């Protein structure tokens, strides 16, 4: 098992994050930004993969890294159909689906790029815990409208990584724990983890749960319908209100919570203070609802994601939920390491690689 090298790839809409690990130790990494000029020739985001592959290989060459030493290439999982948590082999069937996926998302490039590079050297290509991980109980999916079901789209990669770290701190196996994990970032997802499965979680992409810096969260239904029917906004504009231009940015004109925290601490802007407190209030309510899902038996409440660095925000939530369980804060989201560890668990025989089928 000496000299196991793993390349991880995490595509964003205007960037590609890369990292090379030896076992679980980072050797080097970089976030490569893609300019508007670079991206403009491509009508579809998915058509960018040859360009991004070339950029990745050039970066590795510049760092004098021999790709033939790679044991595996791990990409960020895309918008597949619902699947269980785990590490999945990237197959031709998966690549074909990602290239023609009904929902376009930058993460769809992760599996394709991993496959393209792995094929050059005869290595394996994996994805780990994509956002469509679905372990929700059937009872959690029912709504009052039969045609509409709650679906599982959340920060699975970071929630699972934080859950494993929290379990380690608790000196228990993840599969033995009862945890509530709050990923706090541009979107917010709060999940109930029961014995290694996320049995309930808000849809952090399409409008559910707490409001976030860029997302509206749950909205009074009839009021939303009336807004849609008013004719004031196009369908595209309404969707942007829910995801991208909703939440903190809609109220305050910024998605940078550090600016809002500063105003909160200074007491200089009553509106900013109210909205900041309201978002914390909504996260606390979501945690409280999941306490019921876990029958009030909770090993820990865990905060992770970029906003978990904001001690003032965490304190506002903690004041309301600390009576439920001990608090663990694991700030940030080391997605590249999480991808690496997913691949490494398979290489070490700790997990079995899974196969995705349409």
Number of structural domains found in the chain: 2
Does residue 146 form part of some domain? Answer: no
Do 166 and 177 contact (CB within 8 A), yes or no?
A: yes
Segment 105-117 mean pLDDT? 93
Within a domain: residue 237?
A: yes
pLDDT at site 2? 62
Q: Say whether pLDDT at 1 is over 60.
A: no
* 65 and 106 both lie in a single domain: yes
Evaluated on CA atoms 353, 60, 112, 92, the torsion sign reads: negative
Same domain, 96 and 121: yes
Average pLDDT of every residue of the chain: 94
Residue whose entry in the numeric block shows the structure tokens 């004031």:
232
Average pLDDT over residues 145-160: 94
- 229, 250: one domain: yes
pLDDT band at 137 (very low <50, low <70, confident <90, very high): very high
Say if residue 115 is in the same domain as residue 216: no
- Shared-domain flag, residues 114 and 199: no
Sign of CA dihedral 324, 329, 332, 337: negative
Instruction: Report in angstroms the alpha-carbon separations of 350 from 162, 341, 347.
Output: 18, 11, 8
User: Which segments of 40-155 does DSSP mark as H helices, in order?
Assistant: 49-62, 92-99, 108-121
User: What average pLDDT does range 292-317 have in this prediction?
Assistant: 97
Start-to-end CA span in the chain (Å): 34
Rounded-to-integer distance, Cα 72 and Cα 59, Å: 18
Q: Are residues 117 and 253 in the same domain?
A: no
Name which of 173, 160, 178 is nearest 77 in CA terms: 160
Mean pLDDT, residues 152-181: 96
| Segment 52-78, tens digit of pLDDT | 999 999 999 999 999 999 999 999 988
How many CB atoms are located within 10 Å of the residue 45 CB? 15
Per-residue pLDDT band at 124 (split at 50, 70, 90): very high
- Whether the model clears a pTM of 0.75, i.e. scores above it, the answer is yes
pLDDT in tens, 33-52: 888 888 889 988 899 999 99
Do 141 and 351 meet the contact criterion of CB atoms below 8 Å apart? no
Residue 108 belongs to what domain range?
5-134+336-355
Q: Is residue 273 part of a domain?
A: yes
Which CATH number does the domain housing residue 172 bear?
Answer: 3.30.420.40
d(CA 271, CA 181): 28
Do 230 and 246 fall within a single domain? yes
Quick one: 294 and 340 in the same domain?
no
Task: Kindly state the percentage of the chain with pLDDT values over 90.
Answer: 87
């Amino acid at each position: 098992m000496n000299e196991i090298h793993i390349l991880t790839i995490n595509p964003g809409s205007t960037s590609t994050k890369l990292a090379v690990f030896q076992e679980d130790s980072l050797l080097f990494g970089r976030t490569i930004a893609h300019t508007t000029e670079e991206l403009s020739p491509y009508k579809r985001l998915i058509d960018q993969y040859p360009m991004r592959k070339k950029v990745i290989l050039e970066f590795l060459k510049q760092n004098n890294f021999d790709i033939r030493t790679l044991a595996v290439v791990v990409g960020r999982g895309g918008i597949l159909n619902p699947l269980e948590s785990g590490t999945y082999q990237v197959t031709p069937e998966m690549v074909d689906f990602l290239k023609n996926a009904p929902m376009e998302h930058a993460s769809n490039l992760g599996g394709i790029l991993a496959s393209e590079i792995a094929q050059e050297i005869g290595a394996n290509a994996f994805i780990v815990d994509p956002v469509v991980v679905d372990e929700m109980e059937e009872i959690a999916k029912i709504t009052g409208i039969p045609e509409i079901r709650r679906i599982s789209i959340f920060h699975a990669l970071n929630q699972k990584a934080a859950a494993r770290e929290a379990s380690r701190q608790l000196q228990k196996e993840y599969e033995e724990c009862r945890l509530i994990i709050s990923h706090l970032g541009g979107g917010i997802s709060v999940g109930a983890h029961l014995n290694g499965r996320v049995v309930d979680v808000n849809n952090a992409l399409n409008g559910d749960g707490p409001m976030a810096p860029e997302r509206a969260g749950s909205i009074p239904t009839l009021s939303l319908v009336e807004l849609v029917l008013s004719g004031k906004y196009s369908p595209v504009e309404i969707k942007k209100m829910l995801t991208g231009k909703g939440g903190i940015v809609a109220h305050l004109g910024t998605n940078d919570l550090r600016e809002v925290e500063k105003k909160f601490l200074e007491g200089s802007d009553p509106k900013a203070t109210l909205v900041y407190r309201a978002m914390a209030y909504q996260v606390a309510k979501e945690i409280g609802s999941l306490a019921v899902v876990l029958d009030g038996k909770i090993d820990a409440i865990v905060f992770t994601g970029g906003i978990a660095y904001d001690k003032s925000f965490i304190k506002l939530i903690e004041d309301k939920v600390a009576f439920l369980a001990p608090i663990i804060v694991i700030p940030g989201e080391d997605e590249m390491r999480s991808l690496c560890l997913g691949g490494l668990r398979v290489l070490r025989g700790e997990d079995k690689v899974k196969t995705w089928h349409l």
